[in-house]
Structures are given as C-alpha cells and as structure tokens.
Amino acid sequence: MERYYGLVLTLIAGLFFLIGGLISLKVKNKDKLNAFSIALAFIIIINLLIMDLFPEIFELLENYDLSFKILVILVFGALGILILKILDFFIPDHHHEHHDDEIDKKEHISHIKHIGTLTLISLILHNLLEGFAIAGMTLNNLEIGLMICFSVALHNIPLGTTIFSSLDIHKNKLLVTILTLSSFIGGLIFLLIGNISNLVLAVISIITLGMLIYISLFELLPELWQNKKKKESIMGLVTGIIIIIISFVI
C-alpha cells in the first residue's frame, strides 16, 4: 500500500495548478494579472533552475568526469532551447512592440498566449520528472515525500496563475489536463518501470533546463522589462521571493 502514497502525492501536487487557475479566473483585470503573474513566474522559474534543476543534474551526473558533464549540459541544453525555438514557428503572432493602438494590443495578447503555451509545454516535461522523484522519494521516506510534494505545490500555484491568465483554457483543455496530470503520470511511470538510468534522467532534465532558460530569458524577461515600472510587476517579484522563502523554511 505504501508504494501508492507517492502516486497520491503526485496527483495532489498537480492539482495545485488548478488553484492558481482559479485565482486567475477570479481576477477581472487581466492586464494587471498578466503583469503580476509574468513577474511571479520569472522569479519562480529562475529559482527552479538554480535551486532544483542544476543541483539535480549534477547529482545525476556525479559518476562522470567534469568534461563529460559540461559537454552533456551544453549539447542537450542547446537542444532544449532549439526545441522551443522551433515551436515558435508553430505558435503564430507573438512578436510585438508596446504601443497604445488597438492592433498592438491584439499582438500583445497573442504574445502573452505564446508565453503561456511555451511555459506549459516545458512544465509538462519537467513535471513528469518531478512526479518520478516524488514517487521515488515517498517510497523510501513518506515524510520527505510529503515535504517535496508541498514544495512543488507551492511552485505550481503561481505557475498555474500565469498559464491560466495567458491562455484560452477552452481551446487548450487537453494541454491543461495533461499539465495537471503530468506529475501523476511521472509517478505512474515510476511504479510501472521502476529504475531509469541516471544518464537518461539527466538528459531529460537538461533538455527541460534549456527550455526554461529560453522561456525566462527570451519570453518572460523582455515582457517583465517592459512592465518594470508597474506596481503589479513589483508585487509579482516580491510575492515570488516570499513563496521561495516559505518553501525553504518548510
């Protein structure tokens, strides 16, 4: 029975995306919410890169020499960036300048949707691995599994807010459903397969790393810079820092 506790925790962690989504649906001013959620997502993703993905990758590659680690990170990190760059061609109308005319407002909305779609796709891959980790950790130690689950859940709320506020949920029901269940699917894979080599896990993590670097530097950061004087952006950055501190304390 204990082996299924981790599976339950992966499902709970994924459902917290919906909590973030409910928050976004309750807010009427979408422009302010977008400025807030993009700043929030930027901080959360940067923390995810520095505090979660990089340490995890080096731990998975601990048995390999430094030159091999650098080579693998550079090659597959670049692959992750390239994958999202290619996806750019299939997600239309996302480049824009900030002006006040009606055409640019439509382009701006399209750009926000573009960011949401890329973030969603990257997080699906990342959450598969997180679900794998939660299930594995819980099998060894339920208390640690609970702590990891809660930490992941805290991160999923602001990311859910960002995605739900930037996408037409009715047109993206399938992707949102897959995102919500992606941690659960990762946990299920762990139960069905058991062990996957550390090198394979590291490669998947590095590809995800490249994707999230692309999103943070080329999508979120320019949008955040354009809105840097808005109080909603400042509030988003501060809220992200508070969430990170809480997750560390817990």
> For 94-108, 192-206, 229-243, which range has the lowest pLDDT when averaged over its residues?
94-108
Three-class HEC string of 61-83: CCCCCHHHHHHHHHHHHHHHHHH
Identify the band that residue 140 occupies on the pLDDT scale cut at 50, 70 and 90: low
Bin 230: left if φ > 0, else alpha if -120 < ψ < 50, else beta: beta
Identify the band that residue 103 occupies on the pLDDT scale cut at 50, 70 and 90: very low
Q: How far is CA 152 from the centre of its chain?
A: 10
As a whole number of angstroms, the distance between CA 183 and CA 132 comes to 7
Strongest mean pLDDT among 20-29, 137-146, 157-166: 20-29
pTM of the model: 0.68
Strongest mean pLDDT among 15-19, 49-53, 192-196: 15-19
Is pLDDT above 60 for 145?
yes
- The tens digit of pLDDT for each residue in 204-230 reads 888 878 878 887 888 778 878 888 888
- Percentage of the chain beyond pLDDT 70 is 81
Phi, psi (rounded to 5 degrees) for 80: -60, -45
Which of 196, 120, 152, 168 is closest to 52 using CA atoms?
A: 152
**Residue 233: partners with Cβ closer than 8 Å, 6 or more residues away:** 35, 36, 38, 39, 224, 227
Crossing angle (nearest 10°) for helices 231-249 and 30-47: 40
As a whole number of angstroms, the distance between CA 143 and CA 148 comes to 9
Which of 73, 5, 86, 109 is closest to 210 using CA atoms?
A: 73
Identify the band that residue 114 occupies on the pLDDT scale cut at 50, 70 and 90: low
- The answer to whether 77 touches 213, Cβ cutoff 8 Å, is yes
Average pLDDT in the chain: 79
Identify the band that residue 190 occupies on the pLDDT scale cut at 50, 70 and 90: confident
Residue type, 12: I
Is pLDDT above 60 for 105?
no
- The tens digit of pLDDT for each residue in 18-52 reads 888 888 878 777 678 778 878 887 888 888 888 87
